[in-house]
Amino acid sequence: MADSTETPMFEIENLHASIEDKEILKGVNLTVNRGEIHALMGPNGSGKSTLAYVLAGHPAYEVTEGSIRFNGEDILEMEPDERARKGVFLAFQYPTVIPGVSMANFLRMAVTNVRNARAEAAAAEGGAAQKMTPREFRRLMKEKMALLKMDDAFATRYLNEGFSGGEKKRAEILQMALLEPSMAILDETDSGLDIDALRVVSDGVNALAGPEMGMLVITHYQRLLNHIKPDFVHIMMNGRIVQEGGPELALELEAKGYETLRAEFAAD
Ligand SMILES: Nc1ncnc2c1ncn2[C@@H]1O[C@H](COP(=O)(O)OP(=O)(O)OP(=O)(O)O)[C@@H](O)[C@H]1O
Ligand SMILES: [Mg+2]
């Protein structure tokens, strides 16, 4: 096996993907290493959410070319839940409503499932298999809710039903905090957040980020990047990454908009 310091954590290579025979992603290359925060920007309809869905394994999208490797392992053939168990997490741009399922129950199922599967995998490799008990789950949930400054009552509410836009986003971050993924993809987690909520969510994300975690943050606005500082910024246009740089690129975009890039990378 290759030295782990040389294997990129998350590597997207020449990724092409279609939906209903329409090609949306036209050769995306992007590598995220442990401890790195990457921002993905780009105009509406450029393919950012499509990329997020394809990475998470959404069945509606067909990958026609290219590869996605996680710790050197091809994940394209894996089902979404298997990817999640391996440590890939996607926070949706438009979270779904699940009537009748309380937040606490949903999270307990999702988190216990993923954590127990990880424990089993560790046990298979000779490690200790520590299954999570309901009591441990409650303790962990309390701890993470405090970290995200969430009210305890939040946990008993039904998932996303009647949640405000900002509450849905917080719920997604809570789920992320509980799952402790090694690769997190956040699709417009900032949209619809008021200034205080933006800070709380950003603080939460920053508290979770660390040397072991890679992050891909999809956003339209520099203001999120004032809180979550990216190491790299990528601009997507028409299904490809057309420009890359450091945090200064986001500032430049804010000032100039997409017009110059649009002229250069018009739809084909
Ligand atoms: N089911 C579908 N059928 C046909 N086209 C689709 C479908 N889903 C997405 N598309 C198209 O794919 C393109 C990329 O959409 P996507 O949602 O990835 O853009 P985005 O960059 O996330 O945009 P935004 O910034 O508005 O969120 C758009 O032109 C969209 O209309
Ligand atoms: Mg989108």
Give residue 24 CA to ligand 1 midpoint distance, Å: 8
Q: Nearest residue CA, atom 1 of ligand 1?
A: 19
Q: Nearest residue CA, atom 17 of ligand 1?
A: 49
The tens-digit pLDDT sequence of the chain (268 residues) is 445 457 899 999 999 999 999 999 999 999 999 999 999 999 999 999 999 999 988 889 999 999 999 999 999 999 888 888 888 988 765 555 555 667 777 788 878 888 888 888 888 888 776 778 888 888 998 998 888 778 888 777 766 667 777 777 788 888 888 888 999 999 887 777 788 778 877 888 888 888 989 999 999 888 888 889 999 999 999 999 999 999 999 999 888 888 888 888 766 5
d(CA 136, CA 147): 17
Instruction: Indicate which atom in ligand 1 lies nearest the CA of residue 188.
Output: 27
Specify the 3-state DSSP secondary structure of 250: helix
Nearest CA-CA partner of 186 in 195, 196, 198: 198
State residue 229's pLDDT score: 92
Give residue 239 CA to ligand 1 midpoint distance, Å: 10
Nearest CA-CA partner of 68 in 48, 84, 53, 54: 54
Strand partners for 244: 234
211 DSSP assignment? T
Angle in degrees, CA 250, 252, 254, rounded to 5: 70
Nearest CA-CA partner of 73 in 56, 62, 86: 86
Domains within the chain, CATH numbers bracketed: 10-264 (3.40.50.300)
